[in-house]
Amino acid sequence: MNLRPAHRKFWLVLHILSASAWIGVDVMVAVLVGAGELGGSSRGLAYQALGSFVVWPMLVSGLVCLVTGLVLGLGTKWGLVRYWWVAVKLVLNVVLCTLILVLLRPGMPAIRAYGERLSAGESVSFDVSRLIMPPIVSLTLLSLATVLSVYKPWGRVRRRTSSRRAEPVGRGVEPAGRGVEPVGRRGESVGRRGESVGRGVASVGRREESAARLADEASGQRARQATAKRAARTP
Ligand code: HEM
């Protein structure tokens, strides 16, 4: 499947918006946890908001980010497990969504109830220390995913060392396929520069082809020598 440039941009906008919303909700969680921990008159309200409004926006933005990422991966030459930076993001996205569902969501009603009792002026105790890690872990991993998206490091998951077909092997360089804009090392549209990148990729492909041809010739020669030796040994 190849996305047309306009469609790719549409999905990319949705992808970036959902990733940003996800990071935004995480920042909000960090602020609410901080407000709850630091005390003051708004403690009860902070925990009520945390228990009532956070999980679903976080989960929805995480799932939209996942789905749009899947569409972009499948709809462009990046693939889902063709490049390390996409594969790692896929794992991060799935792990984070699972953690939201399995670890975060079940504890939320108790946190809301705790906030309500605090607001009502009751003196209650509740272990809120486990609320500190989720925003830290999530914000760290989402920042990592953002860095991976921009720098696109580590190249392809499985590199072919010699191939008869002219395959681009440049680090993070993507061929300008049908419906996909020419992209530079960082995946940005590069316009006319993309043509020279394309020429560079083609020359890498030509070098690969001639290396493969030389390897074939050498192995043919070895096979002929072995046959000649066998023939010489045969009475
Ligand atoms: C974990 C959360 C994620 C964040 C924060 C994130 C963030 C981003 C950002 C900021 C970009 C724009 C980069 C640029 O244009 O230079 C991007 C592009 C991209 N993302 Fe993600 N992403 C995430 C998850 C995923 C997942 C799960 C996948 C695939 C399974 C994915 C696949 C892609 C692809 C293929 C592109 C490049 C699209 C293109 O240029 O055509 N992302 N991502």
- pLDDT tens for each residue of 39-60: 788 899 999 999 999 999 999 9
Q: What is the pLDDT of residue 73?
A: 97
Q: What is the pLDDT of residue 158?
A: 76
Q: What is the pLDDT of residue 219?
A: 63
- pLDDT tens for each residue of 151-171: 999 889 976 665 444 444 444
Kindly state whether residues 61 and 99 are assigned to the same domain: yes
Kindly state whether residues 62 and 103 are assigned to the same domain: yes
Question: Which residue puts its alpha carbon closest to atom 1 of ligand 1?
Answer: 93
Kindly state whether residues 97 and 76 are assigned to the same domain: yes
Kindly state whether residues 120 and 186 are assigned to the same domain: no
Kindly state whether residues 11 and 49 are assigned to the same domain: yes
Q: Which of 96, 119, 151 is the last residue of a domain?
A: 151
Kindly state whether residues 74 and 187 are assigned to the same domain: no
Is the distance from the beta carbon of residue 97 to the nearest atom of ligand 1 less than 6 Å?
Answer: no
Give 168-203 as a DSSP string.
--STT-----TTS--B-TTS-B-THHHHHHHHHHHH
Tens of pLDDT, residue by residue, the chain (235 residues) = 799 999 999 999 999 999 999 999 999 999 999 999 887 888 999 999 999 999 999 999 999 999 999 999 999 999 999 999 999 999 999 999 999 999 999 999 999 999 999 999 888 888 888 899 999 999 999 999 999 999 999 889 976 665 444 444 444 444 333 334 434 444 444 433 333 444 444 444 455 555 655 665 666 677 677 666 665 544 3
Kindly state whether residues 47 and 106 are assigned to the same domain: yes
Q: Which of 124, 151, 178 is the last residue of a domain?
A: 151
Kindly state whether residues 205 and 223 are assigned to the same domain: yes
Is the distance from the beta carbon of residue 148 to the nearest atom of ligand 1 less than 6 Å?
Answer: no
- Helix axis angle for 84-99 and 55-75, nearest 10°, is 160
Domain that holds residue 178: 159-235
Q: What is the pLDDT of residue 130?
A: 86
Whether this prediction's pTM lies above 0.75 is answered by: no
Is the distance from the beta carbon of residue 62 to the nearest atom of ligand 1 less than 6 Å?
Answer: no
Question: Which residue puts its alpha carbon closest to atom 38 of ligand 1?
Answer: 72
Q: What is the pLDDT of residue 40?
A: 80
Q: Using the mean position of ligand 1's atoms as its centre, give its distance from the Cα of residue 60 in Å.
A: 16
Q: Which of 97, 126, 151 is the last residue of a domain?
A: 151
Residues ≥6 apart with Cβ < 8 Å to 78: 72, 86, 174, 187
Report which ligand 1 atom has the smallest distance to the Cα of 80: 30
Q: Using the mean position of ligand 1's atoms as its centre, give its distance from the Cα of residue 69 in Å.
A: 6
Residues ≥6 apart with Cβ < 8 Å to 42: 35
Question: Which residue puts its alpha carbon closest to atom 3 of ligand 1?
Answer: 145
Kindly state whether residues 211 and 123 are assigned to the same domain: no
Kindly state whether residues 141 and 194 are assigned to the same domain: no
Q: What is the pLDDT of residue 129?
A: 84
Residues ≥6 apart with Cβ < 8 Å to 20: none
Q: What is the pLDDT of residue 5?
A: 95
Report which ligand 1 atom has the smallest distance to the Cα of 96: 1
Q: What is the pLDDT of residue 128?
A: 84
Is the distance from the beta carbon of residue 182 to the nearest atom of ligand 1 less than 6 Å?
Answer: no
Is the distance from the beta carbon of residue 3 to the nearest atom of ligand 1 less than 6 Å?
Answer: no
Kindly state whether residues 125 and 215 are assigned to the same domain: no
Kindly state whether residues 53 and 121 are assigned to the same domain: yes
**Span between the terminal Cα atoms of the chain, in Å:** 61
- By most ligand atoms within 8 Å of CB, the mutation choice from 7, 18, 67, 72 for ligand 1 is 72
Q: What is the pLDDT of residue 15?
A: 98
Number of structural domains in the chain: 2
